[in-house]
Amino acid sequence: MSGKKISVLFASALPVATNSFEPEKTEGLYTRYHSMIEPYVTGTEGETEGYTHLESPEDFTSSPNESTEYTYSRYGAVMEFISGQ
């Protein structure tokens, strides 16, 4: 690919990376959807022991924080990569 084509690809990737995967936006989504399904995972209508992938209810409770940390980490890596191009 020519240098011009590559620069066009990077230019088109930047808005996607900065808008679609903006950590603040995804953090809100993680929290919102986590709250929606929480009663069906750890609440009175939660998963049945022996039929779940969770080792404890705390695994689910901490999942939005872990997802948010991962999102910030990957977003930083993408921004670093793009800025080096």
- How do residues 8-65 score in pLDDT, each as one tens digit? 766 677 787 777 778 999 999 999 999 999 999 998 888 888 888 888 889 999 999 9
Q: How confident is the model at residue 1 (pLDDT cuts 50, 70, 90)?
A: low
SS3 14: helix
| pTM across the whole model | 0.71
Alpha helices in 1-85 (DSSP H): 3-15, 23-41, 57-61, 63-83
Given a cut of 90, whether residue 73 has pLDDT beyond it is yes
- How many CB atoms sit inside 10 A of residue 37's CB? 11
* 41-70: burial string, b at 16+ Cβ within 10 Å, e else: bbeeeeeeeeeeeeeeeeebeeebeebbee
Q: Is the pLDDT of residue 69 over 80?
A: yes
Say whether pLDDT at 72 is over 90. Answer: yes
Quick one: CA dihedral 18, 19, 25, 26, positive or negative? negative
